[in-house]
A = this chain, B = another copy of it.
Amino acid sequence: MSGRLTVVGLGPGSAGQVTPEAAEAVAEASDLFGYGPYLARVAPRAGQVAHVSDNREELGRARAALALAAAGRRVAVVSGGDPGVFAMAAAVCEAVEAGPPAWRALEIAVVPGVTAMLAVAARCGAPLGHDFCAISLSDNLKPWAVVEARLRAVATAGFVIALYNPVSRARPWQLDRAFEILREVLPGTGLVVFGRAAGREDERIAVTPLARAEAGMADMATCVIVGSPATRIIPREGLPPLVYTPRFAEGAVDRGGEMTGAVR
């Protein structure tokens, strides 16, 4: 009897974006752990035990899942998007490091998924077509001063910026403050994409200049992508515009691409 724990990424929400590997990991599990809305996306089969927890209990959920795996069960911890991006894979690692030695001997696997910024980017063109970064705006997880310093650093250096956890009931002002900081560094004509529920029925994609971006345009289900000064918009009559960041930066010498020969 050897238990195992798999952290599974279900993608941003549409069934078409769940990888076969993720579906299989869910199907094979004896026990499923997760936040209610994520567990609702998988249909537990007869005999599977669903352990629902709320969204303020990552570490407790990780510990409970590890304890059950150590008892010989095949446990899947489900996560939206990719479980390695501001999500449960790190919580499981934290719990392993602080937990009993037996947890280190477990078979632990992570199944990647399509993370929100990729799904949002796909719905509006290719805003992440050049160097980019992902920042969580939650100051539950780090001091707000760190968030501000990071925003300034990457905006100044020319990165496209994907903002995760942009707002919540407990964090109403952080996103507007982030836009303020970004406006100190970036032109007001810069492009901001608000991508909500990408690929789902209630999807809403909006593009606005940075000068007019405000927190009211986002909710907890939104990933915000702030373009670099190189990011462009292509208007299209009767169709949504395309937003993209060119592959070539100014000053580059085009020696021919190598883009598709390498790993992606």
Complex CA gap A149/B256 in Å reads 23
Instruction: Pick out which of these stretches binds chain B: A43-51, A63-71, A138-146.
Output: A138-146
How does the 8 Å CB contact mask read for A31-48 relative to B, with 1 for contact and 0 for none? 000110110000000000
Asked whether A1 is an interface residue with its Cβ less than 8 Å from the other chain, the reply is: no
Query: Contact: B252 with A141, CB < 8 Å?
Result: yes
**Distance (whole angstroms) from the CB of A114 to the closest CB of chain B:** 5
Q: Which of A60-89 contact B (CB under 8 A)?
A: 79-89
Asked whether A227 is an interface residue with its Cβ less than 8 Å from the other chain, the reply is: no
> Which residues of the other chain, B, contact A168 by a CB distance below 8 angstroms?
258, 261-262
Asked whether A123 is an interface residue with its Cβ less than 8 Å from the other chain, the reply is: yes
In the assembly, how many copies of this chain are there? 2
Whether A140 touches B263, Cβ cut-off 8 Å, given contacts A89-B244, A90-B126, is: no
Query: Contact: A146 with B56, CB < 8 Å?
Result: no
Complex CA gap A91/B242 in Å reads 12
Query: Contact: B91 with A247, CB < 8 Å?
Result: yes
Asked whether A190 is an interface residue with its Cβ less than 8 Å from the other chain, the reply is: no
Query: Contact: A133 with B130, CB < 8 Å?
Result: no
Query: Contact: A129 with B247, CB < 8 Å?
Result: no
Instruction: Pick out which of these stretches binds chain B: A92-100, A175-183, A207-215.
Output: A92-100
Asked whether A222 is an interface residue with its Cβ less than 8 Å from the other chain, the reply is: yes
Chain A residues packing against B (C-beta within 8 Å): 9, 11-12, 14-21, 24, 34-35, 37-38, 55-59, 79-94, 96-97, 104-105, 107-116, 118-119, 121-123, 125-136, 138-143, 146, 149-150, 153-154, 156-159, 164-165, 168, 170-171, 196-197, 199, 220-223, 232, 234-239, 242, 244-249, 251-264
